[in-house]
A and B are shown apart, each in its own frame.
Chain A
Amino acid sequence: RKEVEQDPGPFNVPEGATVAFNCTYSNSASQSFFWYRQDCRKEPKLLMSVYSSGNEDGRFTAQLNRASQYISLLIRDSKLSDSATYLCVVNGGSSNTGKLIFGQGTTLQVKP
């Protein structure tokens, strides 16, 4: 089993749609969780950190479920500019400080 797993997609959605991505992780000791965005083989950029209580940033909402070991990202009112690959990132846990594990990414295509 991969340490961090994502559905690679692609997810093809019309503008204005709501889309949700899930990501599962295997190390129960992981403490830090993030969503990064990557455009067409450019460098990844932080979209948002994921806090235990869940957090929202505009149209984006991230949730953490420790019991089931998954995190989610919800995008409301999708824009064409949201088309990108979304990377789930998890730290390696207290015994692996400094290690960050990336999922393979979920590709989103927003169509007009």
Chain B
Amino acid sequence: EAQVTQNPRYLITVTGKKLTVTCSQNMNHEYMSWYRQDPGLGLRQIYYSMNVEVTDKGDVPEGYKVSRKEKRNFPLILESPSPNQTSLYFCASSLSGWGFLDSPLHFGNGTRLTVT
């Protein structure tokens, strides 16, 4: 089954403890992206990757890192999480990041992160 898989689904952690949220897709998609969703603010793009070894900042990259060493995986790393990073996170992939009209985004199920 074609899908985007995020893990974990729920995570509660403490300030400063490094964590990684994994994202994997099995559709051979070139484009992958991370979003966070907060009430009243909608989805905001954190980082995206047009292809392997190519990553770019989105609108809210501060406090996050990503890597794209292989096509299928795009982990999101929080080196020193803070309470303002408490949010619902979505990973998404697309066949191509050029326009999206013929290659819509497929989202993972989301990761609900709480930083205390």
Does B90 lie within 8 Å of A32, measured CB to CB?
no
Given known contacts A34-B104, A42-B109, A98 and B42 CB-to-CB distance under 8 angstroms: no
Fill in one digit per residue for B4-16: 1 if any A CB lies within 8 Å of its CB, else 0. Answer: 0000000000000
Q: Is A59 an interface residue (CB 8 A)?
A: no
A60 CB → nearest B CB, Å: 15
Complex CA gap A97/B33 in Å reads 12
Does A46 lie within 8 Å of B105, measured CB to CB?
yes
Does A98 lie within 8 Å of B50, measured CB to CB?
yes
Q: 6 closest pairs, A vs B, by CB?
A: A104-B42, A43-B107, A102-B43, A98-B97, A46-B104, A102-B42
Contacts of B41 in A (CB 8 A): 104
B contact residues, total (Cβ < 8 Å): 28
Does B100 lie within 8 Å of A34, measured CB to CB?
yes
Contacts of B104 in A (CB 8 A): 34, 46, 49
Given known contacts A41-B110, A43-B109, A104 and B101 CB-to-CB distance under 8 angstroms: no
Closest to A98 in B: B97
Does B33 lie within 8 Å of A100, measured CB to CB?
yes
Interface-central residue, A41, A100, A101, by most chain B CB under 10 Å = A100
Closest to B40 in A: A104
Partner of A42, one of B42, B50, B105, B110: B110
Contacts of A49 in B (CB 8 A): 101, 104
A contact residues, total (Cβ < 8 Å): 24
B61 CB → nearest A CB, Å: 12
Given known contacts A32-B99, A34-B104, A91-B99, A99 and B42 CB-to-CB distance under 8 angstroms: no
Contacts of B100 in A (CB 8 A): 32, 34, 91, 100
Q: Is B74 an interface residue (CB 8 A)?
A: no
Q: Is B113 an interface residue (CB 8 A)?
A: no
Complex CA gap A43/B84 in Å reads 21
Contacts of A100 in B (CB 8 A): 33, 45, 100, 105
